[in-house]
């Protein structure tokens, strides 16, 4: 087992610890404010003591830490999003591959059982041509965000929840650049954006994608609706909040009540474990680093900020 450190002993860092122990040997935390940690900054710990780093810090601190890690030939998982300048994505990718290390941005929702099920349905073309997709991701954390100076700054919900939605779109439909049209962008209770809705489209196809993200959904909610030629597929909920329901509706021609198959999953959140395993496999299989997805997510985030 490769030896791993976690940079940042916050909420995300503690979640990562629970999952990585199955696949890596945990060395310790690096944290500037925690009284429990021996090492306060990344340069304090000898590089020979670890092979892998999990970067769980605020966005503004990520760049220098990642740069240090990949230059010292350390495999690196960084919490989403990875917001850099265009030339920096390409530089980081080049350095990581030159040093034969993985630089991976974590988007754990890719590992939700029902998200994977939708991907398989679309890949096998079971429902035919995709006409439209709608994604809603909401939680009720506006007050918690307001209590945090670093969270209630910048672009708010856009990078936080929106980056997950863009990643899901790329996971389900492929990594393609689309035009972004803002429908609504508001700051109801926060200094940063707490509610955003937008439409994504492309001149090369008629597929329309609608996304909505908010801190003002008092019950945590995730919904996905995908309308296709031969039917539709829907998700209601994520396992981290309770049951996740997958509904597949087969269209009756020329019209009529569709044949519906419902699958309900109620389990603990396995996405963190599955992502740690996926990251371990990327390392063991000596995959190359690609930051194309991160560059596209950054492009979309910037379109919503402007």
**Is pLDDT of 35 > 90?**
no
Q: Which residues contact 245 (CB under 8 A, 6 or more apart)?
A: 114, 234, 235, 236, 237, 262, 263, 264, 265
User: Can you give the pLDDT at residue 131?
Assistant: 96
pLDDT by residue (tens digit) across 191-209? 999 999 999 998 888 899 9
Q: Which CATH class is domain 3-106+273-287?
A: alpha beta
Give the pLDDT confidence score for residue 206 in this predicted structure: 87
Per-residue model confidence (pLDDT) at position 55: 98
Judge whether residue 259 has pLDDT over 90. Answer: yes
Distance of CA 175 to the CA centre of its chain: 14
**Minimal CA–CA distance to 219: which of 197, 192, 239, 241?**
241
Domain boundaries, the chain: 3-106+273-287, 109-268
Q: Residue 223's Cα: distance from chain center in Å?
A: 16
Q: Which CATH number fits domain 109-268: 3.40.50.300, 3.40.640.10, 3.30.360.10, 3.30.1180.20?
A: 3.30.360.10
For residue 138, the SS3 value is strand
Q: What is the pLDDT of residues 57-100, one digit of tens each?
A: 988 899 999 999 999 999 999 999 999 999 999 999 999 999 99
- Number of alpha carbons in the 13 Å side-chain half-sphere of residue 215: 24
Per-residue confidence (pLDDT) for residue 151, from 0 to 100 = 79
**Which DSSP symbol is given to 172?**
H
Mean pLDDT to the nearest integer, 294-304: 94
Q: What is the pLDDT of residue 271?
A: 96
pLDDT at residue 150 above 80?
A: no
Contact between 110 and 171 (Cβ < 8 Å): yes
């Amino acid at each position: 087992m490769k030896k791993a450190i976690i940079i940042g002993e916050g909420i995300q860092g503690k979640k990562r610890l629970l999952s990585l122990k199955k696949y890596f040997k945990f060395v310790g935390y690096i944290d500037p404010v925690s009284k429990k940690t021996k090492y306060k900054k990344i340069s304090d710990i000898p590089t020979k003591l670890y092979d892998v780093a999990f970067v769980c810090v605020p966005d503004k601190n990520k760049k220098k830490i990642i740069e240090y890690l990949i230059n010292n030939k350390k495999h690196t998982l960084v919490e989403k999003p990875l917001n850099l300048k265009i030339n920096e994505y390409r530089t980081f990718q080049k350095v990581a591959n030159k040093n034969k290390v993985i630089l991976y941005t974590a988007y754990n929702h890719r590992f939700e059982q029902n998200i994977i099920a939708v991907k398989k349905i679309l890949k096998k073309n079971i429902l035919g041509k995709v006409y439209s997709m709608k994604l809603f991701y909401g939680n009720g954390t506006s007050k918690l965000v307001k209590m945090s100076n670093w969270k209630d700054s910048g672009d708010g919900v856009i990078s936080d929840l929106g980056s997950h939605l863009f990643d899901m779109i790329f996971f389900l439909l492929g990594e393609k650049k689309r035009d972004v049209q803002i429908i609504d962008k508001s700051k109801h209770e926060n200094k940063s954006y707490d509610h955003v809705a937008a439409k994504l489209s492309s001149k090369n196809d008629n597929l329309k994608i609608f996304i909505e993200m908010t801190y003002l959904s008092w019950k945590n909610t995730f919904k996905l609706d995908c309308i296709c030629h031969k039917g539709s597929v829907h998700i209601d909920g994520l396992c981290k909040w309770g049951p996740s329901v997958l509904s597949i509706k087969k269209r009756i021609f020329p019209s009529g009540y569709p044949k519906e198959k419902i699958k309900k999953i109620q389990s603990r959140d396995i996405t963190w474990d599955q992502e740690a395993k996926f990251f371990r496999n990327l390392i063991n299989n000596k995959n190359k680093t690609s930051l194309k997805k991160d560059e596209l997510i950054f492009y979309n985030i910037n379109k919503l900020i402007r």
